[in-house]
Amino acid sequence: ASLLAPADVSQGKGLFATRSIRKGDTIFVERPVVASQFLWNALYNYKACDHCLRALETAQENAQRLLGRSSQVLPHPEQCSIRKDLHQPCPQCQVTYCSAECRQAAWEQYHQVLCLGPARDDPAHPLNKLQEAWRNMHYPPETSSIMLMARMVATVKQAKDKDRWIKVFSQFCNKTANEEEEIVHKLLGDKFKGQLELLRVLFAEALYDEHLSRWFTPEGFQSLFALVGTNGQGIGTSSLSQWVHACDALELPAAQREQLDAFIDQLYKDIEK
């Protein structure tokens, strides 16, 4: 029997369960067409793979950062799945990937266009200006990123078969002009029209491409913005939560299990303070 059935397509992409699902079951796995870390999230120094968004900090480092306490030590460090020995930076701009595979995948899909090289920390670089403008308009809690759109454009610019990628992106749910305005308003707030135009100008300065000229017009940019707002999905990648999940699966004597559970409960309480 089928496990998942499509939801109402008018609401974007979604799924309904057709049978009971047990806790811990993997119900769905897919690779995003493009992914990008939230910009404020990156600015706050949460380290994630620049391609797949897998956490790069260990569970202990994650806990230390969230607690603001560098002395925090976690028991059972062997339950942390982060493999720092596999991490690889881009040799040009130094963004970090969780593996050679992710670094290569990013390079082959979009990073050749978006790599800032030595200009990574140059505030005058067009891509940095675009990202700074986005941060000044879209404050935490974040729900999207202008860099999703940048990676879409870069993917097409880099592709040998540009029409194929344009077709891939065009398959996502689109909205009417009024619905698009509502989505943009939700993302940018009451001053969205002026902010959207500023973003469009900066976006064009950084990434304009003839094959995608419509995406850079006011109407096309609004549609692209709404497409990302409708179809984008925020995810959380936490090495600490993965460590907790692994610890939950440990077979321990009752006293040790009680002690570990109490430690984890207190850890989360301290983080929430």
- For 65-86, what is each residue's pLDDT tens digit? 999 999 999 999 999 999 999 9
Backbone dihedral region for residue 61 (phi beyond 0: left; psi -120 to 50: alpha; all else: beta): alpha
Predicted local distance difference test score (pLDDT) of residue 156: 97
Predicted local distance difference test score (pLDDT) of residue 58: 97
Average pLDDT, the chain: 91
Predicted local distance difference test score (pLDDT) of residue 89: 98
Ranges in the chain, pLDDT < 50: 1
pTM over 0.75: yes
**Environment class of 133 (CB within 10 Å of its CB; exposed 0-12, middle 13-18, buried 19+):** middle
**In 3D, which of 30, 27, 28, 33 has the Cα closest to residue 51?**
33
Predicted local distance difference test score (pLDDT) of residue 214: 94
**In 3D, which of 153, 124, 146, 131 has the Cα closest to residue 212?**
153
Alpha carbon separation from 231 to 18, 67, 162, 268 (Å, rounded): 23, 33, 21, 31
